[in-house]
Structure 1
Amino acid sequence: MTVVGGPASAAPMSQMGSLRDLTFSDRDFGRIRDLIYRRAGIVLADHKREMVYGRLARRVRAQGLHCFGDYVDRLERDSASPEWDAFTNALTTNLTSFFREAHHFPLLADHVAGAGGRVRVWCAAASTGEEPYSIAITLMEALGGRREFEVLGTDIDTDALARAEQGIYSMEQVSKLPPERVRRFFQKGSGSRAGYARIRPEVAARVSFQKLNLVADQWPVTGEFDAIFSRNVMIYFDQRTQVRILERFAPHLKPDGLLFAGHSESFSYISDHFRLRGQTVYTLAR
């Protein structure tokens, strides 16, 4: 999933000017926090100051500027600027892996085995693709070609989505998977591609990727899904935003569908739309 994160700074803001080549004031940080909240619903804590400097300094320099304030001014002057994507991408970190929080995938397999018709699963924080491809592998193993399925992976980070669509990963990233899964679902690279593996075309064909901002007024998503994965992303929103997103998930989940949350997320006390079914797994409230 795509999240915001980074190490806390040990240096106070009063010292930062002497350590950095770009002007970055408390006011600049406050404006950036406001912009990313309004644009993506992301809440940046005080201790993210130095992370913000480190992530955005390259973008400020790329614009030929020497001051974060001037960079923010440019963004605010043009709401349609392509720099908005670069700004958002810079403030997100893609922390993911294949079959992360592994207990969810057997639950998904059991659920779809008893479902009828075409199976649809939405991964609402697709990041660089490991999670939606893990979902697709699970469905291929569970359904065995008996029924059609599709996986939709969405994310706000366009750079991450571009990597997800390529479906190329280092062998280190796939090394923790059972060897039989690697053989069945990946193609090992050779020559200049040695040390890398690509998702096999028959898996990639079942997965589509699309940019989606969870706090946008409109979502480019239609229909209902057998399962929605929204794992380890809601913790970066405030409670008001979480409630609104959960309200909007509900119509997209089939009556018996499953909503998967991250290990540190709990929706039971913030939404009347879902009830806890198991460990970080929810169903629609009746």
Structure 2
Amino acid sequence: MKSQAKASDGISDRYHQKVAEYINQQAGIQLPRQKRTLIETRLRKRQRELGIETLHDYIDYALDARNDEQLLLIDALTTNKTEFFREANHYPLLLSHLPEVRGELKLWSAGCSSGEEPYTLAMLLQDHGMPHYSILATDISTSVLHIAQQAIYLHDDVEPVPLAMRKKYLLRAKDPTRDEIRISPKIRQHVRFGLFNLITGNFASMGPFHVIFCRNVMIYFNSAQRDQLIRRFVSRLKPGGLFFIGHSESLEAHRYGLHQIAPTVYHLNQGGAHD
């Protein structure tokens, strides 16, 4: 490992292919040639931190199975942006179609990123008077899960949260000079975060759930991976459960035993899934 990093080096076609194939195998994410600049930008920070001379040297090091750098490489290339109350028309649909539940309502926020989606769901259900609910929030990135677990955000981040909810569920920093808020314990107690890989993870160990959110994640997968992933999600839905995907995504509901109740919102038939 060299002591000084070169800031101007890029990656060759061969190294781009190595990274793209590895990320696709591990996370299902497509990194075509037009994403090369993104790969270089995101990996260069870690290259510099380690004092490695070139990006090629860093990639060789990261893909070496004898070290833990692989997780950090996946972290760097799979982090997605999100926000509170994103795709807001989903939330009235959730409340109006909530399945009747005896006991605890169970939800899964898959690909939860830095926590805005599961905390949005918790605030919504809390405000709706839902007495018993739990939200499992998972992501492949350890760095975004750390942010989510801290539950600390900037004031600009929480602007989409309705004012009444902000007053009830967000806590200001004691130091007025700090531009931070924290999600209140009454919301945090309903959300549990965990590391989960949607490509290689054991779905049989998950749920089953009354509601699954997986939004703006499958757009990064190829068609075969999307099909497999949808089938796995449906297998973890309780009959009558709800499945939400992103506004830029679509699926053929009948193929999976689902009924479309609104664009990107699906209901699992009471008889369950079928092929």
Structure 1 length normalisation: TM-score? 0.86
Q: Which amino acid aligns with 1:188?
A: R
Q: Which moved more, 1:235-244 or 1:64-73?
A: 64-73
1:28 aligns with 2:12: no
Give 1:7's aligned residue.
none
1:87 aligns with 2:73: yes
CA contact (8 A) 1:99 1:131 kept: yes
1:201 aligns with 2:185: yes
Distance (whole Å) between structure 1 residues aligned to residue 32 and residue 95 of structure 2? 38
CA contact (8 A) 1:246 1:271 kept: no
* From 74, 82, 99, the counterpart of 2:61: 74
Give 2:24's aligned residue.
37
* From 82, 89, 103, the counterpart of 2:89: 103
For residues 133-148 of structure 1, the aligned pairs below 5 Å read 133-142=119-128, 144=129, 147-148=131-132
Distance (whole Å) between structure 1 residues aligned to residue 257 and residue 67 of structure 2? 37
Give 1:165's aligned residue.
149
Q: Which amino acid aligns with 1:29?
A: H
CA contact (8 A) 1:23 1:66 kept: no
1:179 Cα offset (Å): 1.6
1:120 aligns with 2:106: yes
* From 238, 259, 265, the counterpart of 1:281: 265
1:138 Cα offset (Å): 1.2
Structure 2 length normalisation: TM-score? 0.89
Gaps of at least 5 residues in structure 1 are 1-18
1:85 Cα offset (Å): 1.6
Q: Deviations over 1:103-132 (max 9, x none)?
A: 111122223374332100000011100100
Gaps of at least 5 residues in structure 2 are 1-5
1:233 aligns with 2:217: yes
Q: Secondary structure at the match of 1:91?
A: helix
1:139 Cα offset (Å): 1.1
1:220 Cα offset (Å): 7.9
Distance (whole Å) between structure 1 residues aligned to residue 69 and residue 136 of structure 2? 26
* From 144, 156, 160, the counterpart of 1:176: 160
Give 1:153's aligned residue.
137
CA contact (8 A) 2:29 2:78 kept: no
Q: Deviations over 1:5-60 (max 9, x none)?
A: xxxxxxxxxxxxxx952352111111111111111111012211111111101222
1:69 Cα offset (Å): 2.7
Relative to structure 1, the CA distance from residue 47 to residue 226 in structure 2 (aligned partners, 3 Å threshold; closer, same or farther) is same
> How much is the aligned-residue C-alpha RMSD, in angstroms?
2.1
CA contact (8 A) 2:85 2:160 kept: no
Q: Which amino acid aligns with 2:133?
A: F
Distance (whole Å) between structure 2 residues aligned to residue 225 and residue 44 of structure 1? 31
CA contact (8 A) 1:151 1:207 kept: yes
CA contact (8 A) 1:243 1:270 kept: no
